[in-house]
Structure 1
Amino acid sequence: MMEEYVKLKNKNGVGYIEFFHPAQNSLPGNLLSELARTIYAAGEDEHIKVIVLQSGGDRTFCAGASFNELVDINDEETGKIFFSGFANVINAMRKCPKFIIGRIHGKTVGGGVGLASATDYCMATKYAEIKLSELNVGIGPFVVGPAVQRKLGLSGMSQIAMDANTFYTAEWARQKGLYTHVFDTVEELDDAIKTFAENMCSYNPKAMSEMKTMFWRGTEDWDQLLLQRAKISGRLVLSEFTKEKLKEYE
């Protein structure tokens, strides 16, 4: 079984950040910390003009937060720290001075939908269905909610948040604005991302940075907001309802 990792490679000015975990690319706290650190590093690297966020494997883009860590939470502070992991990555993506292109090759759940939503331009395959499953275990998509709502709108976000058992198609996500393009194959996806990203490397980096600041206007409070949301999830995960629900998955 392959070991988990986060790695960064520069190819023709494009910084490819890839994460992997053998459990369907779920993200435990240590991987989330490394992912946030890598995004900041790529943002400061003068040799990188544009960033692509992708995951390893050939099926699931991201299964969300690590279930093994979730079941071990026994106090509010630990819960807050756990749920802050995705908050820190989303904020790193938001504050990164370079455009981040998302490569969503397969299904994505929970926190993974948050990561896709925090990219600046997101392409996918037809297999890249999305689901916000948090309500199933008695919590909610509080931390990723602002990022998802920013892309899908309140109507789209609330629809998938309340319908927590359903995978929504990649085409639905494209129509709502999460994906810009949906391709039939991974090969077509990779070709399109390579062409798009390398073309962007020819643009003025300062202009792109100013554009990104413009696009993210109104999110300046997310450093505090997402941590407040993490507290909510950290409290709810200790509820009797959630503890009983988690037992069903053990």
Structure 2
Amino acid sequence: ESSLRLSELALGLGPFVVGPPIERKIGKEAFVEMSLDCEWRSADWAKQHGFYNEIFDSEIELNEKLNEFTKQLSQRSSEALTQLKEIYWEGTDHWDELLEQRAENSGKLVLSDYTKNFIKDFKSKK
């Protein structure tokens, strides 16, 4: 089972740095839902929302499909693939600055009393 969640808010933080690529992949609504409730999502949910493209029953099946796919890609025009990659990443030119700003936000929140207390309580439960 390949479940996933965004648990940063529960820690007193937020998914600031990982947020832009995740939001871009699954959409604003699903990202908001994940970032606010911090609940686990199933692999089926992830596929339904575009986070996963496929779900496999075994690691062997995954590796077979991956090998098949990479073989197909290796037989395609590298120039065309490069141009497609540029199209896929349009609108992300500002991410270097955005991610730096968001990392700064995370750094400030890590130093907050809420997060310090959360970490202290978490460590004491171990």
TM range (shorter): over 0.9
State TM-score, norm by structure 2: 0.95
Higher gyration radius (CA): 2
| Aligned position for 1:199 | 72
What do residues 112-153 of structure 1 show as CA deviations (whole Å, max 9, x unaligned)? xxxxxxxxxxxxxxx111110101110000001100000110
| Aligned position for 1:139 | 13
**Whole-angstrom CA distance in 1 between matches of 2:78 and 2:59:** 28
**Whole-angstrom CA distance in 1 between matches of 2:30 and 2:70:** 28
1:163-242 matches, cutoff 5 A? 163-164=37-38, 166-242=39-115
- AA of the residue aligned to 2:9: L
**Whole-angstrom CA distance in 1 between matches of 2:115 and 2:102:** 17
| Aligned position for 1:150 | 24
- AA of the residue aligned to 2:29: S
How far did 1:186 drift? 1.1
**Whole-angstrom CA distance in 2 between matches of 1:162 and 1:242:** 16
How far did 1:178 drift? 1.0
Structure 2, unpaired ranges of 5+: none
How far did 1:174 drift? 0.5
What do residues 60-98 of structure 1 show as CA deviations (whole Å, max 9, x unaligned)? xxxxxxxxxxxxxxxxxxxxxxxxxxxxxxxxxxxxxxx
State TM-score, norm by structure 1: 0.49
**Whole-angstrom CA distance in 2 between matches of 1:248 and 1:197:** 46
Percentage identity across paired residues of the two chains: 39
Q: Which protein is richer in strand relative to its size? A: 1
Q: Which protein is richer in helix relative to its size? A: 2
How far did 1:221 drift? 0.4
Number of residue pairs matched by the alignment: 123
4+ aligned runs moved over 2 Å, structure 1: none
1:49-128 matches, cutoff 5 A? 127-128=1-2
CA RMSD of aligned residues (A): 0.7
